[in-house]
Amino acid sequence: MDKIKSLHRISGIIIAIFAAAHLFNHAMAWYGIETHREIMEALRTIYRQPVVEIVLLLCFGFQVYSGIRQAMALRKVPHLSLNDRLQMFAGWAFAFFIVQHIGAVVGQRLYFGTDTDFYFAARVVLEAPFKYYFVPYYFLGIMALGIHVAATHRKKIAGMVSDKQAKFHALVITALAFFTAMLILYVFMGGRYVIVMPKV
């Protein structure tokens, strides 16, 4: 289990770097669809390299597998702390988000040749009936990631700083996830500017 925990942590760091870049890309849509596209294309030159993409997919897959194993082990612990519970349940939620999100994005690109660009994401949060599922889906996905990272970070720095400081760090990370989710959804739902969807 210790080896799985170590690999879970390493794959988690890789995913966190990718997720930060991905969310930054979406947040920069605040400055316009063209800005979003330019950043996306620059990032794609890195993460769509075959080797990089395979490594990312393997990391996501292992993260789900190892996360489930660790969560099942945690369920046997009689008295879990609130932080452990937050870490576990946020991990479950993020695993669900990962499986569906990657399946949809990669599947659409490989099987249907769909460009998973700004409009691909905006369509499902703008148009009914999709938006009634995908607005909470994206919000909860980002929040699950944020809470899981916050709880993990709090546990990691426990003993190095006071409990009050560790809790403050976790709250800041969670608040940042909340702000990021709200900003992205505000932009992609047409709050910043009018979004005219291209005809398909």
d(CA 197, CA 200): 9
The mean predicted confidence, pLDDT, of the chain is: 94
Query: For the chain, what percentages of helix, strand and coil (3-state, to nearest 5) are there?
Result: 80, 0, 20
Instruction: Note the pLDDT tens digit of each residue in 54-102.
Output: 999 999 999 999 988 888 887 778 888 999 999 999 999 999 999 999 9
Q: How confident is the model at residue 1 (pLDDT cuts 50, 70, 90)?
A: low
Instruction: Note the pLDDT tens digit of each residue in 14-62.
Output: 999 999 999 999 999 999 999 999 999 999 999 999 999 999 999 999 9
pLDDT for residue 128 is more than 90: yes
pLDDT of residue 192: 98
pLDDT of residue 200: 67
* Structure letter (DSSP) for residue 162: -
pLDDT of residue 71: 84
Reduced to 3 states (helix: H, G, I; strand: E, B; else coil), residue 115 is coil
C-alpha gyration radius of the chain: 18
Query: pTM for this structure?
Result: 0.93
pLDDT of residue 199: 82
87 alpha-carbon distance from chain centroid: 14
Provide mean pLDDT across the span 147-175. Answer: 96
